[in-house]
Structure 1
Amino acid sequence: MNSAIAIEPAQGNAAAGRANDPEVAAMRSRIADAVRAGGGHVTTADQAAGLVWLTQDGVGELGRFLDKYPAIRWVQFPWAGVEELVAQGFMDRDVTFTCAKGLFADQVAEHALTLVLASLRHLVAQARTPRWHSIDPGSLFGRRVTILGGGGTSASLVRLLQPFQCRIRVLRRTAQPMQGVDETLPVSALEQVLPETDVLVLALALTPRTRHIIGAEQLALLPPHAVLVNVARGKHVDTEALYSALQDGSIAAAALDVTEPEPLPEGHPLWHHPGALITSHCADSADYVAAMLCGRVTRNVANLRDGLALEGLVDARHGY
């Protein structure tokens, strides 16, 4: 395929407002360098066969853009979650879409481990108590960890957990084994394993089937000492059910890098709950995001030029 690539929108902000969103003008420049490093060249949309689309705002704008420039046959997104695009039928177009899935796994897994340890050791309560306040800490060593999702973040987290000698279960779309995992099961086994889970980590794609995959019924199945960590999408968890579970002691703690709604309103009671730790969708740093994305663009442009398989292909059947 022709490796003439457009980078759009050409003007304006492409960021969603997070601290770890790379600065837009600099990002465009780095993407252009990445295109050239892959053997492609940057051009205007009317001359392009491929497109790097930098904004998450305005799904309709992308649709109009692709309608206007039908010669574009490949689109690269800089983010992993494509659920809104899938829901609006974008994947039905005769265009190849690739996203950033799997790219940011190492830092997201690092953040997940941080949230797990902070929750087990009651760091929220310790930090919010302005006096000497001794609390018996929990330990990660030997704990039963269940990870929902079998992608790159899960694989990275499994590697990080190895020194803690945890018993690790991964629940994924298929029960294909994963290295370092004691047991791999289909997602349908979730309710079966929740009573035997000390730490539950959500690291899966958001699809209609996984929205509110954790609600009141699932939270009630967890042991009272269990910790929930979500580094995937806020809509995986029923927020009100989670708050109720923390209030009545059904689970011990929840640590969330993503929330529903997002951002979580300032007055929401989760902000003040001693068992809740919330970070503002900031698991990966701006420099890391930019470097990983540029690497994927370079490889995909080269693969496009050489007729090879592209990385991060969006699977329209499964919604990610």
Structure 2
Amino acid sequence: MKLLYPTSLELRPDAFTLPGVSALPYDVAAPLPAAHEDAEVLVTWGNSAEMLRGAAARMTRLQWVQSLAAGPNDVLKAGFPAHVRVTSGSGLHDHTVAEHTLGLLLVAARRFHEMRDAQRQRRWPGHLGGLQPDRPKGAFRTLQDARVLIWGFGSIGQRLAPLLTMLGAEVRGVARSAGERAGFPVFAADALPELLPETDALVMILPSSPETRHALSAALLAHLPRHAWVVNVGRGDTLDEGALVAALQQRRLGGAALDVFETEPLPESSPLWALENVIISPHAAGGRPQGAEALIRDNVARFLAGEPLRNLVAR
């Protein structure tokens, strides 16, 4: 079996090459060489859309694409035939995205962004220091006793939730079905109108799909308290950006910390850049898949044995 792995990530092929497998590197930004078009397995990470479309058209023996992204939308849009199985990198980004999200929440609560702005102006922001209320009502100023709602309570959310509870937050999740996951109460999305008014920080970790487009709509934003913050580390199109901008400009929300956007890079014309109650990070939460070689090796072994692959994506 011939497997192609990307040079966009430092991978050790000896860590996933099993007997009978030939592993060869390729450039994700260049057209696939004709000599590689006979490969049965393609591992992707940061591939250009043009490269993926070319691979979909010319790799006639391809049977399986292993994406290292948590959401392999680029692969799904490339036009690979229906018989080609696609597996995701779900689980490889849990720690980094959870850590980044925790950082965004702490910045928002402790107002580090305002302090940084004041520092650049050589201005002492006295209202941010000195005597402060401990846990003021109607404000998001600490994770202690904060009510955090995680919409998209998958592996990343389950990694984040214990970090928040260690800092004193009350965590609830929203997923496709209600129940309990990893010891946390989880509600279905139809409960959002009741949950949002009791939320200090809404964390969105939704994947991109036709069903999740603008899931956080103007109508749902209106249910959040005026002091609440919205944090999005999932996909940009799951949030109605125009409705969010209006709510922020009208001070109907405390603020937003955004790592993903409907258009990336975020255009210079976006009003989000100028809003003081917005924190922007450049799709930086993930980008560092951890444990990629172990996932590839496990799935290669499963593929050779004819067993179900991990993280198989429904198509």
Q: Same fold (TM over 0.5)?
A: yes
Go from structure 1 to structure 2 and tell me whether the alpha carbon gap of 1:88 and 1:274 turns closer, same or farther (over 3 Å shift): same
Deviates more, 1:226-235 or 1:125-134: 125-134
Paired residue for 1:49, among 16, 40, 44?
40
Q: Which residue of 2 aligns with 1:258?
A: 260
What is the alpha-carbon distance in structure 2 between the residues aligned to residue 267 and residue 31 of structure 1?
42
Q: Which residue of 1 aligns with 2:104?
A: 115
Q: Which residue of 1 aligns with 2:158?
A: 155
What is the alpha-carbon distance in structure 2 between the residues aligned to residue 258 and residue 237 of structure 1?
10
Deviates more, 1:264-273 or 1:200-209: 264-273
CA displacement 1:44-82 (0-9 Å, x = unmatched): 5354322213443226x5354344333221111122223
Greater RCO structure (CA 8 Å; 6+ sep)? 1
Whether the 8 Å contact between 2:67 and 2:75 is mirrored in structure 1 is no
Tell me the secondary structure at the aligned position of residue 243 of structure 2.
helix
What is the Cα deviation at residue 284 of structure 1? 3.2
What is the Cα deviation at residue 154 of structure 1? 0.4
Q: Which residue of 2 aligns with 1:7?
A: 5
Tell me the secondary structure at the aligned position of residue 164 of structure 2.
helix
What is the alpha-carbon distance in structure 1 between the residues aligned to residue 145 and residue 183 of structure 2?
14
Q: Which residue of 2 aligns with 1:132?
A: 124
Whether the 8 Å contact between 1:40 and 1:302 is mirrored in structure 2 is no
Q: Which runs of 5+ in 1 are unaligned?
A: 9-22
What is the Cα deviation at residue 293 of structure 1? 2.3
Which letter maps to 1:74? Answer: W
Whether the 8 Å contact between 1:38 and 1:299 is mirrored in structure 2 is no
Tell me the secondary structure at the aligned position of residue 81 of structure 1.
coil
Q: Which residue of 2 aligns with 1:35?
A: 16
Give the number of aligned pairs.
291
Tell me the secondary structure at the aligned position of residue 159 of structure 2.
helix
Q: Which runs of 5+ in 2 are unaligned?
A: 25-34, 134-140
What is the alpha-carbon distance in structure 2 between the residues aligned to residue 226 and residue 192 of structure 1?
15
Identity %: 34
What is the Cα deviation at residue 6 of structure 1? 2.6
What is the alpha-carbon distance in structure 2 between the residues aligned to residue 154 and residue 272 of structure 1?
30
TM-score when normalising by structure 1? 0.82
Paired residue for 2:247, among 229, 238, 245?
245
Go from structure 1 to structure 2 and tell me whether the alpha carbon gap of 1:202 and 1:244 turns closer, same or farther (over 3 Å shift): same
Deviates more, 1:257-266 or 1:127-136: 127-136
CA displacement 1:154-191 (0-9 Å, x = unmatched): 0111121121232221111122421231x211122222
What is the Cα deviation at residue 208 of structure 1? 0.9
Go from structure 1 to structure 2 and tell me whether the alpha carbon gap of 1:218 and 1:89 turns closer, same or farther (over 3 Å shift): farther
Q: Which residue of 2 aligns with 1:15?
A: none
Which letter maps to 1:32? Answer: P
What is the alpha-carbon distance in structure 2 between the residues aligned to residue 87 and residue 191 of structure 1?
33
Q: Please show how residues 283-302 of structure 1 align to structure 2 within 5 Å.
A: 283-284=285-286, 288-289=288-289, 291-302=290-301
TM-score when normalising by structure 2? 0.83
Which letter maps to 1:81? Answer: G
What is the alpha-carbon distance in structure 1 between the residues aligned to residue 19 and residue 197 of structure 2?
49
